[in-house]
Amino acid sequence: MAHVNDPITINKTEVKNRLTMAPTVKFDYAGEDGRVTLKHTEHYRKRAEGGCGLICVEATAVTPGGRFAKNHLGLWEDEQIEGHKAISASCHDNDAVVIIQLNHTGITANPDCGPAIGPSAVPTRDPKVLSKEMSIDEIHEMQKTL
């Protein structure tokens, strides 16, 4: 029987133990540019130092319009990559495996960030407002983003 401190191999990646950190969004850490801040890197570093073997970085928006809020972490432009590398390095320095939860909020998009979109027109956060129905081409473009 496996124990919490036993290593585990997932696909070809060895994780030092079975302690995982689920993605939890830190809304007050990022600015409107969606870039990683020192608060992010310190947050994930502390979890790795604390012993997590596998850390999943919070829901990270793939487009500015697909965010929960204007201060939602993003990865929609090249300028955001360095910050994510810093998060990875802070985890790897403590022997933790790090993955990311890529996210687009779709029909639950914050109206301050952009229109709610989806494969069909359905009620949004405001039941009186329907999401914008995406065309097949728009769906394929979003798939490329993810």
Q: Cα(105)–Cα(40) distance, rounded to whole angstroms? A: 21
pLDDT for res 86: 98
The domains found in the chain, sorted by start residue, are: 8-106 (3.30.750)
pLDDT for residue 125 = 83
Q: Is the pLDDT of residue 146 over 80?
A: no
Supply angle C-alpha 100, 103, 108, rounded to 5: 150
The whole-number average pLDDT for the span 57-72 is 94
